[in-house]
Structure 1
């Protein structure tokens, strides 16, 4: 008697739907991060210069602070 395996003809490569959902999740994550950064930039831009000085940044450093690009003059205060 001969036994035929059900998996003998299946490919070992990952399914294309897994790749699709992974790319969809990455896109959603990137969109969420972008919206969060835009919100943070708007919130910091709405602050007056004194409040920004209390935080340790100037108006020209808002985007750098939000994107995590710490300047040399900021690191000496940390």
Structure 2
């Protein structure tokens, strides 16, 4: 005689608590990423125009460079 346990029909998907922790971890990662990028913008803004020119950007391109919105004129340096 064959018996079927009740657990055989339950899904093995993530529980609601693991979904919560994944969302929480994603939010924490996004926050730390945002803070790091803001720090990079501040650091680059403190450089003089000559130093910015040496790395291939102008003052108006600082945020675009930090946030990954590389303009076509910047791609020639990559």
Normalised by the length of structure 2, the TM-score is: 0.84
Shift of 1:6: 6.2
Could you tell me which runs of 5 or more consecutive residues in structure 2 were left unpaired when the two chains were aligned: none
Q: CA RMSD in A?
A: 2.0
CA distance in 2, matches of 1:6, 1:72: 60
1:69 is paired with a residue of what secondary structure?
coil
CA distance in 2, matches of 1:65, 1:16: 38
Note the 1:35-50 alignment, pairs <5 A.
35-50=35-50
CA distance in 2, matches of 1:71, 1:4: 62
What number of residue pairs does the alignment pair up?
77
Could you tell me which runs of 5 or more consecutive residues in structure 1 were left unpaired when the two chains were aligned: none
- The answer to whether 1:27 aligns with 2:35 is no
CA distance in 1, matches of 2:4, 2:59: 71
CA distance in 2, matches of 1:20, 1:30: 15
2:52 match: 52
